[in-house]
Structure 1
Amino acid sequence: MTLTSLMLCPETARNSSFKDVADFEGVRDNMLVGYGLVVGLNGSGDTLRNSAFTQESLTAMLDRLGVATRGGKLNTKNVAAVMVTATLPPFARQGSRLDVSVSALGDAKSLNGGTLLVTPLMGADGEIYAVSQGALSTGGFEAGGQAEKVTRGVPTTARIPSGAIVEREVEFALAQLENVKLALRNPDFTTANRIAAAINKWSKGAGAQATDPATVVLSIPGHYRERIALLMSEIEQLRIDPDQPARILVDETKGIIVIGENVRISTVAIAQGNLTVRVTETPQVSQPNPLANGETVVTPQTNVQVDEESGRRMAVLSGAVTLQDLVDGLNAMGVGPRDMIGIIQAIKAAGALQAEIEVM
Structure 2
Amino acid sequence: MRRLLAAILCTLVLSTPATADSVRLKDLGKFAGWRDNALVGYGIVTGLAGTGDSPGNKATRQSIANVLAQFDVVVPPDDVFSRNAAAVMVTARLPPVARTGDTLDVTVTSLADARSLTGGNLLLAPLKGPDGKVYALAQGALFVGGYKFDLNGNVAQKNHPTVGSIPAGATVEAPVRANLLRTDGTMVFTLAEADFTTAARIAEAINGAFGQTLAHAQDAEGIEIAVPEAARARLVDFVTRIEKLAVEPDSRARVVVDERTGTVVSGGNVRIDRVVISHGDLKLSIVTDNLVSQPLVVGRAGDGVRTELVSNSRIRVSERDETGYVSASNNTVADLISALTRIKTSTRDIISILRAVKAAGALHADLVVQ
TM-score band by shorter chain is 0.7 to 0.9
Are residues 15 and 270 of structure 1, via their aligned partners in 2, closer, same or farther at CA, if it must alter by over 3 Å? same
- Asked whether 1:72 is paired with 2:78, we answer yes
Q: Secondary structure at the match of 1:300?
A: strand
Residue 119 of structure 1 aligns with which residue?
125
Q: Which has the larger radius of gyration?
A: 2
Q: In 1, are the aligned partners of 2:180 and 2:187 still within 8 Å (CA)? A: no
Q: In 1, are the aligned partners of 2:124 and 2:138 still within 8 Å (CA)? A: yes
Q: Deviations over 1:109-144 (max 9, x none)?
A: 222211111111111212111111111112333356
Q: Taking structure 2 as the reference length, what is the TM-score of the superposition? A: 0.82
- Which amino acid in structure 1 is aligned with residue 274 of structure 2? T
Are residues 93 and 318 of structure 1, via their aligned partners in 2, closer, same or farther at CA, if it must alter by over 3 Å? same
- Asked whether 1:283 is paired with 2:290, we answer yes
Q: Secondary structure at the match of 1:112?
A: coil
Residue 353 of structure 1 aligns with which residue?
363
Are residues 331 and 134 of structure 1, via their aligned partners in 2, closer, same or farther at CA, if it must alter by over 3 Å? same
Q: In 2, are the aligned partners of 1:313 and 1:333 still within 8 Å (CA)? A: no
| Cα distance, 1:212 vs structure 2 | 1.1
- Asked whether 1:82 is paired with 2:92, we answer no
Give the distance between the partners of 2:347 and 2:50, measured in 1 at CA. 47
Give the distance between the partners of 2:42 and 2:112, measured in 1 at CA. 12
| Cα distance, 1:150 vs structure 2 | 4.2
- Which amino acid in structure 2 is aligned with residue 60 of structure 1? N
- Which amino acid in structure 2 is aligned with residue 163 of structure 1? G
| Cα distance, 1:341 vs structure 2 | 3.9
Give the root-mean-square deviation of aligned CA atoms: 3.1
- Asked whether 1:34 is paired with 2:41, we answer yes
Q: Deviations over 1:19-53 (max 9, x none)?
A: 1101012222111111222222222222232x443
Are residues 58 and 345 of structure 1, via their aligned partners in 2, closer, same or farther at CA, if it must alter by over 3 Å? farther
Q: 1:128 aligns with which of 122, 131, 134?
A: 134
Give the distance between the partners of 2:113 and 2:178, measured in 1 at CA. 41
Residue 249 of structure 2 aligns with which residue?
242
Q: 2:200 aligns with which of 193, 196, 210?
A: 193
- Which amino acid in structure 1 is aligned with residue 97 of structure 2? F
Q: Secondary structure at the match of 2:75?
A: coil
Q: Deviations over 1:199-254 (max 9, x none)?
A: 12211222121111111122223442321101111211111111111123344445
Q: Taking structure 1 as the reference length, what is the TM-score of the superposition? A: 0.84
Q: Secondary structure at the match of 1:283?
A: strand
| Cα distance, 1:145 vs structure 2 | 5.5
Give the distance between the partners of 1:132 and 1:81, measured in 2 at CA. 14
Give the distance between the partners of 2:319 and 2:160, measured in 1 at CA. 45
| Cα distance, 1:171 vs structure 2 | 4.2
Give the distance between the partners of 1:65 and 1:272, measured in 2 at CA. 78
Residue 304 of structure 1 aligns with which residue?
314
Residue 140 of structure 1 aligns with which residue?
146
Q: Which moved more, 1:97-106 or 1:35-44?
A: 35-44
Q: In 2, are the aligned partners of 1:200 and 1:207 still within 8 Å (CA)? A: yes
Q: Deviations over 1:149-168 (max 9, x none)?
A: 44332222221110111111
Equivalences for residues 10-21 of structure 1 within 5 A: 14-21=21-28
Residue 217 of structure 2 aligns with which residue?
210
| Cα distance, 1:280 vs structure 2 | 3.9
Are residues 337 and 78 of structure 1, via their aligned partners in 2, closer, same or farther at CA, if it must alter by over 3 Å? farther
Q: How many pairs does the alignment contain?
A: 350
Quote the sequence identity (%): 39
Q: Deviations over 1:74-118 (max 9, x none)?
A: 332222222211111111111100111122222222222111111
Are residues 304 and 118 of structure 1, via their aligned partners in 2, closer, same or farther at CA, if it must alter by over 3 Å? farther
Give the distance between the partners of 1:167 and 1:30, measured in 2 at CA. 14
Q: In 2, are the aligned partners of 1:94 and 1:167 still within 8 Å (CA)? A: yes
Q: Secondary structure at the match of 2:80?
A: coil
Residue 113 of structure 2 aligns with which residue?
107
Are residues 342 and 180 of structure 1, via their aligned partners in 2, closer, same or farther at CA, if it must alter by over 3 Å? same
- Asked whether 1:95 is paired with 2:105, we answer no
Q: Which runs of 5+ in 1 are unaligned?
A: 1-8
Q: In 2, are the aligned partners of 1:175 and 1:226 still within 8 Å (CA)? A: no
Residue 8 of structure 2 aligns with which residue?
none
Q: Which moved more, 1:250-259 or 1:132-141?
A: 250-259
Q: Which moved more, 1:179-188 or 1:66-75?
A: 66-75
- Which amino acid in structure 2 is aligned with residue 316 of structure 1? V
